[in-house]
Structure 1
């Protein structure tokens, strides 16, 4: 796409491209799609959720009576209204071959989809909906009722709320008690600064944006004014939550990718854009314009949209590993990303968001630290490189296949994680791992934690064989945040265990030249691509035996979230029975040209772990006091 086009032209072309890809993927019923990718049972008979998830974006486009009913891509016209009408007419008709039938089990996937189908129908309440036949509306109402009965007690309760709110707004039968009970539960999930835990305690991730941050607003649109106390509570927490949003992005629109469902990609834009349309966005419209465009460009640049079919991949990019998808992600699931467009087309064409200039992102304005204590996150931004890092040890969601997505120490806009396991084990990039020479363990769940504007601290257990190793870790960003100190205390029950710890992994593509370096206690790797030179380093200060030559995780190149290959600098330490203290510094940076970053002296630090649990860190910045942990989630 032409990156010199106006912002609105750019967004319209992006949208038309994705609508064209959707239309080309449809079967004859117009409600199921045949896509390449990694299949699960939701793909049997054709994926329905490509249509369900693009539906509200199509409806938002049609909600404006002055907007064309068609879009054009590659010289071909696509009838947007025709696509929407076919969904109304066929998807809910039990006699249609493509009928979206449930599988008879509770908590069916269509509970999720019903929320966005209902919202989409509400968006066209003044355009398409009035022209539908009574039989079509009757089928729609019956289908919505079938999938509006029960839901898992987490963010799914918002799907019930939106299902019934849409039915109410459209004049269809609904159950107010279901709405009230679901809201009573959802409100128990609220934590500090407007952030929501997703059901169980300590489950914080991008569901802040692509369910809590959208569906709460859908309700406000469809039922706002019915319960003014509830409305104000929801509005207040949305404003608070959105204050942190732009601090999570690099200057080039890249994101500090973290958590599950990352295959939804730019869907996270739906929350701030709809928030802007509803007067809830707490920053400037110019900043949001810049953020939206750069984030869309970022995913296009890494190949998130297939260049041949113009459909959204399950992977984050063309070379990213498929392990980004969870077991529930089928080929149509990535179209949750279209929430970005269901929000964009609700901003009036004459609004300054479209017609005005853009404004700098936080990381372009200056270095920053931004803590989200409830979630255990500390964001650090480096103006000189546009790099943002998410320091985190607050998750209860990192067990099993979620280890790489939640339990690493730091997640970066410029150095995406190694997401895939090799032989069932997750690598040591940005993590402290243990091995006994046969078995391997990676952090999973953090028990107690605390976050300040200058540090993150947590306790956790590393389990290996029959042994539990109690660990307490302090992370302290230095300077602009690209340097950080790690301090660990491990209480080890037996001799013979080894700690392996990695810096941030450096992902690279096949044409990129990579330089590796190692000495006694320093391991580093540099690489150059068309976006500049990058460098990652880790240096042992205390307790480590040696540095390890940077290498791929167990010799497997393709494990990264974005890149074709990845190399991680590492340290090793032999542990003894009893208390072991390890101290290291790590650094990750990117220059804006093809020259290597200027050599930097390794930051000198001194650390004291005092008897009361206080950790004192002395660096060129001065002295930092990190108090002992005195609280947990409850």
Structure 2
């Protein structure tokens, strides 16, 4: 049996080469939702799984999130045939006397998130969603939006949601207190850390919420808001600067870096390129921007990202609740529709007129100083070495933020069982256990620094154990140096990149002292010990459904038991598509770096990573 890609992905078979193709994609993604709208139009319930918020808010999420694609589609002249459902649903969902009422708004409530899409719709296409309504419906909707904007929003990208609601209210002539809008815009700008980067609130992290939220909403504001020219200029300038860095989060094949939370939003990651187009900001040549945009959509068209009825699943490369967040309801994935923002532009815009240009080739490692990363562009892959970010308040946070390396081709694994040390994958992580059952990894940090294209972090898996880690690019390899100081014996496992596992044992494994390798059907992944005392190599099969892209994955590991005291571990890691580049790389592994030189370098020139330096 084959999981039919035509049923598992509404984008399958769409060449995604032209504006017409992208318009078709909007309707192909929306149409599977039609059977799940309630009779009132207000609720869209796509599954039985729950989220941290109530079902009414989840049903609103299912209703509202498709609007991120529908609205620009219609604004650009597309014929969306179901506005009657949305008008009816909007009137009923905001009516406290209707059985499908969405519920009262409250501080830091999910409804505040979803109403942003409605604000955008009213701001961009009032002729479709507002003007045909009667005065009673308009009064009820307006009152609901006004109540929402008076609430307290989470201190991060959520602050833009009030701004988007206000853009809608302003468009249809509903008065409100503009000082609250300005206050939130000022607070958002305070998250700026330079170089076009923001923090997503008062936190030590900068993930995909920077491109697909902070910049995305900011660029919408520059287009739709009246006045405020100085702020608009700042927002545009930051986006211009940011583009030079964020392009390194995309592979040559269009894949975005799987890094951080909310990966189930999938092609929302390409929304930044569309926002540049909407804002008429040619931060790169239009052909390059268009290439990043369309390649990303085409990459997603290849994966089984939907259920059999064509509804997008919670998951990444396939349906997978293990990697989800507590705030992911069955409607959450439809934030992917944010990618369709440039459909608001006419076909004559330079973005749509430009010929696609392939991404530039970067032979040398690229330091991304503000988020504490180093990018390496390799054959068929972009690897990001990472140090200096953290998020310790969510499931899988260590895997999503604290691995040593992330990849556009291989994504990452989420550990499935925190009481089975031997079965854990530890891809691009160093796992530690003092009892052979429970384990720790790099989580929160004491220090994070960068010098040129090298990274350093200091972390404590236990209060009495200290680990220092240096990360060094050696393209296409990378090197990790760990110095551990422990008062007791520790078992250790360090992993390389996870690749797809074939059926019937067709993959070939090599393991022995100081080395482990998996030769899969399309890729090779290897890990090499450069320590003075080599660890044991193991070709490991990961627990099913732990990798974001492949339901069955394999990866190489190095294992050892360390004695109490100080130990230095040095590791070289490589993963590449099979072929000549891989053969050459495997035949020429990097040499062991000098730890004393690394220490001097960071002592003399080390700079604290900006996103980590939260004061």
TM over 0.5: yes
Matches of residues 331-480 of structure 1 in structure 2 within 5 Å? 331-341=330-340, 343-362=341-360, 365-382=361-378, 385-398=379-392, 401=395, 402-423=397-418, 427-436=425-434, 437-463=436-462, 467-478=463-474
Does residue 1:550 correspond to 2:549, yes or no? no
Distance in 2 (CA, whole Å) between partners of 1:313 and 1:450 is: 38
Does residue 1:216 correspond to 2:233, yes or no? no
| Structure 1 residues 207-234: Cα deviation after superposition (integer angstroms, max 9, x where no partner) | 0122112221232223242x22222222
Matches of residues 203-282 of structure 1 in structure 2 within 5 Å? 203-225=205-227, 227-282=228-283
Is the CA contact 1:57–1:339 (under 8 Å) kept in the aligned structure 2? yes
Distance in 2 (CA, whole Å) between partners of 1:245 and 1:630 is: 21
Residue in structure 2 matched with residue 517 of structure 1 by the alignment: 510
Residue in structure 1 matched with residue 321 of structure 2 by the alignment: 322
Distance in 2 (CA, whole Å) between partners of 1:587 and 1:312 is: 33
Is the CA contact 1:378–1:452 (under 8 Å) kept in the aligned structure 2? no
| Structure 1 residues 366-399: Cα deviation after superposition (integer angstroms, max 9, x where no partner) | 43433221211211112xx221011101112146
Matches of residues 495-574 of structure 1 in structure 2 within 5 Å? 496-508=489-501, 510=503, 513-528=506-521, 533-553=522-542, 556-574=543-561
Please provide the CA RMSD for this pair: 2.5
| Structure 1 residues 332-355: Cα deviation after superposition (integer angstroms, max 9, x where no partner) | 1111111111x1211211224324
Distance in 1 (CA, whole Å) between partners of 2:445 and 2:607 is: 15
Deviation of 1:252 (Å): 1.7
Distance in 1 (CA, whole Å) between partners of 2:374 and 2:603 is: 14
Residue in structure 2 matched with residue 622 of structure 1 by the alignment: none
Distance in 1 (CA, whole Å) between partners of 2:579 and 2:568 is: 37
| Structure 1 residues 76-119: Cα deviation after superposition (integer angstroms, max 9, x where no partner) | xxx233233233332222233222213x6521111111222101
SS of the residue corresponding to residue 348 of structure 2 reads coil
Residue in structure 2 matched with residue 20 of structure 1 by the alignment: 31
Distance in 2 (CA, whole Å) between partners of 1:224 and 1:147 is: 22
Residue in structure 1 matched with residue 59 of structure 2 by the alignment: 47
Distance in 2 (CA, whole Å) between partners of 1:302 and 1:153 is: 34
Between stretches 255-264 and 352-361, larger displacement belongs to: 352-361
Is the CA contact 1:59–1:121 (under 8 Å) kept in the aligned structure 2? no
Is the CA contact 2:388–2:448 (under 8 Å) kept in the aligned structure 1? yes
Deviation of 1:296 (Å): 1.7
Deviation of 1:128 (Å): 4.4
Distance in 1 (CA, whole Å) between partners of 2:125 and 2:491 is: 61
Is the CA contact 1:421–1:427 (under 8 Å) kept in the aligned structure 2? no
Residue in structure 2 matched with residue 590 of structure 1 by the alignment: 577
Is the CA contact 1:141–1:167 (under 8 Å) kept in the aligned structure 2? yes
Please, which runs of 5 or more residues in structure 2 have no aligned partner? 1-11
Is the CA contact 1:613–1:628 (under 8 Å) kept in the aligned structure 2? no
Residue in structure 1 matched with residue 312 of structure 2 by the alignment: 312
Q: Greater relative contact order (Cα 8 A, min sep 6): structure 1 or 2? A: 2
Aligned length: 593
| Structure 1 residues 182-220: Cα deviation after superposition (integer angstroms, max 9, x where no partner) | 122212211121111112331211101221122212322
Matches of residues 49-128 of structure 1 in structure 2 within 5 Å? 49-64=61-76, 67-70=77-80, 79-102=81-104, 105-128=106-129
Distance in 2 (CA, whole Å) between partners of 1:183 and 1:5 is: 35
SS of the residue corresponding to residue 498 of structure 1 reads strand
TM-score, reference length from structure 1? 0.88
Residue in structure 1 matched with residue 20 of structure 2 by the alignment: 9
Matches of residues 184-199 of structure 1 in structure 2 within 5 Å? 184-199=186-201
Deviation of 1:265 (Å): 0.8
Between stretches 257-266 and 561-570, larger displacement belongs to: 561-570
Deviation of 1:3 (Å): 4.6
Distance in 2 (CA, whole Å) between partners of 1:433 and 1:604 is: 23
SS of the residue corresponding to residue 530 of structure 2 reads strand
Give the direction of change, closer, same or farther, for the CA distance of 1:438–1:304 in structure 2 (3 Å limit): closer
Is the CA contact 2:68–2:335 (under 8 Å) kept in the aligned structure 1? no
Deviation of 1:7 (Å): 1.7
Residue in structure 2 matched with residue 618 of structure 1 by the alignment: none
Please, which runs of 5 or more residues in structure 1 have no aligned partner? 71-78, 616-624
